[in-house]
């Protein structure tokens, strides 16, 4: 009998197939005691296992490439974190085995993150995955992961670690569903990059029996258990219609009546550029430069290394627009040379621009490298600061850009509600705004962006979030300046129409989403988008806003 479940759709497309479950978690190692004479040997075993896991994660990242590579390299850094390893050594020195020392050290750090209710709690799944890999290697047991199968299937898991998601074979894994996670989790972002339909935050999905046929609609978040022939035909027809619309869509982003909405790509470095170019991106709306800095948490990359990386991206978009976000360190992206180690709540502490203003030499080197990378190129370079709270922040950043001799537009990200509330004031110092809807939702609703339990508050359709976006866009329009969106909200085709109706002037997203957004925008006039935006803002919940906008655009 067909039943319907609903989670959060995070990657477009339809997948129909049999269920396969992720392997079970690594068992907790026994609390066996060792003698003092065995401690040195056990410490050596632990270090060897940690190094092997870090090397494996880096190798997986190199195979996956693109944004997945950056995520997995960050996981490798977790594995070799010196403070964690010092705790492992201490536990072994007082009698724990290598595997028990690793398990308990990671558990203590996990409890610290999960219990603090902070932004870093979003990395608990990553931490668990690294721990499991190290413990499995020490115990000599297979690492749980994606199941072996000769036939295509739909994968169901409690959560998916980046190391699993990055290497999913889309010819076998038709789609995936997780019980936990959120729309901006690493797995969700990587699913969009892979083009695999996916649903997250669907409690109870793990109870669906192995081998059951399910249909996953990654656009709506609907999961149909044992779908009828009619439902399968309906979903397949809708998928075919989307595919045909994508094939027919090309050129710059615009509404049906010619209102231009540039469609830009989010990239983490040169490896992400080919996919963006292939998707027809009109430029880059978010160049996440922190991935370059995460290669070595002990020191910043040299000016020459930065110039080389930046120039590769800038050269790919001649006469296009490339918006670079300066280093956004802190919270879940700590850097030993930059961010404090003892903050009780890093998400609300010295993060982003605050870190850079405390270390002006790091900011100056990056801005100088960007200036040199753009020399002689016809690209339209724009540079923006993360975590701008007010006009004082905006002025400090603009002054730093001018002092570095940067010939580019200076902008501010709107990720903190105060920036949206005082957008017009901030625009007295900078030339554009860029809305980071992931963090803006997190701070507006006090809802960690990686915690599935609060995912409804991370839904970019929340009317209060739309109000903040509209407020920012209205301020930019009043000042004759631009206001783009570079958060994951832009990757939702229907929401892209609403954002356009709110007055947003450009949309930036993962490359895989660009064709979907382009095709959908081209179906509606600007006036229709404005009416849909008004209807969404008048709603009282995210679901009501989505339904109201859809009703307007479908002419109901």
Q: Supply the residues annotated as catalytic.
A: 186, 486
What residues pair up with 225 in beta bridges, in sequence order?
3, 214
Question: Taking the CB of residue 431, how many other CB atoms lie within 10 A of it?
Answer: 18
CA distance 137 to 232: 43
Q: Report whether 532 contacts 510 (CB < 8 A).
A: no
CA distance 305 to 366: 10
Give me the half-sphere count of Cα atoms (radius 13 Å) on the Cβ side of residue 11. Answer: 30
From first CA to last CA, the distance across the chain in angstroms is: 31
DSSP 289: T
- Scan for tokens 């179906």, then name that residue: 523
Q: How many helices (H) and strands (E) does the chain have?
A: 22, 16
Q: In what side-by-side order are the strands of the sheet with 153-157?
A: 3-6, 222-225, 213-217, 14-21, 153-157, 173-178, 198-200, 8-11
Q: Name residues whose C-beta falls within 8 Å of residue 408's C-beta, 6 or more positions apart in sequence.
A: 370, 371, 374, 381, 382, 383, 401
Two structure tokens written together for 74: 């960050």
CA nearest 331: which of 345, 346, 353?
Answer: 346
Question: Taking the CB of residue 295, how many other CB atoms lie within 10 A of it?
Answer: 12
Can you state the angle between helices 437-445 and 463-478, rounded to 10 degrees?
A: 120
CA distance 159 to 187: 8
What residues pair up with 5 in beta bridges, in sequence order?
223
Can you state the angle between helices 39-64 and 66-79, rounded to 10 degrees?
A: 170
CA nearest 91: which of 83, 100, 82?
Answer: 100
In degrees, to the nearest 5, what angle opens at C-alpha 6 toward C-alphas 3 and 8? 155
Q: Report whether 414 contacts 435 (CB < 8 A).
A: yes
Two structure tokens written together for 416: 């903190």
């Amino acid at each position: 009998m067909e039943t319907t479940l609903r989670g959060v759709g995070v990657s477009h497309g339809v997948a129909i197939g049999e269920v396969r479950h992720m392997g079970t978690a690594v068992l907790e190692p026994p609390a066996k005691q060792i003698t003092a004479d065995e401690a040195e040997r056990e410490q050596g075993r632990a270090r060897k296992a940690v190094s092997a896991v870090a090397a494996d994660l880096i190798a997986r990242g190199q195979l996956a490439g693109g944004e997945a590579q950056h995520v997995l390299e960050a996981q490798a850094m977790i594995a070799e974190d010196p403070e964690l390893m010092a705790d492992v050594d201490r536990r072994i020195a007082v009698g724990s085995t290598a595997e028990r020392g690793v398990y308990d050290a990671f558990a203590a750090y996990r409890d610290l993150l999960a219990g603090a209710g902070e932004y870093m709690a979003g990395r608990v799944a990553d931490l668990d995955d690294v721990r499991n890999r190290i413990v499995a290697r020490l115990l000599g047991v297979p690492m749980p992961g994606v199941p072996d199968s000769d036939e295509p299937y739909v994968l169901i898991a409690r959560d998916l670690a980046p190391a699993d998601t990055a290497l999913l074979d889309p010819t076998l894994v038709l789609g995936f569903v997780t019980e936990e996670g959120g729309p901006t989790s690493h797995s969700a972002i990587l699913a969009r990059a892979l083009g695999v339909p996916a649903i997250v935050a669907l409690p109870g999905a793990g109870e669906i029996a192995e081998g059951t046929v399910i249909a996953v609609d990654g656009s709506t978040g609907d999961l149909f258990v044992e779908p009828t022939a009619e439902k399968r035909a309906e979903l397949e027809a809708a998928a075919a219609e989307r595919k045909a619309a994508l094939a027919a869509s090309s050129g710059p982003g615009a509404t049906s009546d010619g209102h231009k909405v540039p469609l830009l790509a989010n990239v983490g470095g040169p490896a992400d550029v080919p996919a963006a170019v292939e998707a027809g991106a009109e430029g880059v709306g978010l160049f996440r430069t922190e991935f370059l800095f995460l290669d070595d948490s002990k020191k910043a990359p040299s000016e020459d290394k930065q110039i080389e990386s930046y120039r590769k991206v800038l050269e790919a978009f001649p006469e296009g627009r490339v918006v670079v976000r300066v280093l956004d360190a802190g919270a879940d992206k700590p850097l030993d040379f930059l961010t404090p180690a003892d903050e009780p709540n890093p998400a609300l502490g010295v993060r982003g621009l605050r870190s850079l203003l405390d270390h002006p030499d790091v900011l100056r080197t990056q801005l100088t490298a960007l200036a040199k990378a753009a020399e002689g190129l016809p690209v339209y370079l724009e540079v923006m600061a993360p975590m701008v709270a007010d006009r004082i922040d905006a002025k400090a950043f603009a002054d730093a850009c001018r002092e570095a001799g940067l010939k580019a537009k200076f902008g501010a990200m709107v990720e903190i509600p105060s920036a949206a509330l005082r957008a017009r004031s901030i625009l007295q110092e900078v030339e554009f705004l860029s809305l980071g809807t992931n963090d803006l939702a997190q701070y507006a609703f006090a809802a960690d962006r990686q915690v599935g339990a609060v995912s409804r508050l991370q839904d970019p359709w929340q009317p209060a979030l739309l109000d903040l976006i509209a407020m920012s866009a209205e301020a930019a329009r009043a000042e004759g300046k631009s206001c783009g969106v570079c958060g994951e909200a832009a990757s939702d085709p229907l929401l892209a129409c609403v954002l356009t109706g709110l007055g947003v002037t450009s949309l930036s997203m993962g490359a895989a989403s660009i064709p979907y957004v382009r095709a959908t925008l081209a179906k509606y006039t600007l006036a229709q988008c404005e009416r849909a935006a008004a209807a969404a803002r008048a709603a009282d919940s995210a679901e009501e806003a989505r339904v109201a906008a859809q009703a307007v655009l479908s002419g109901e």
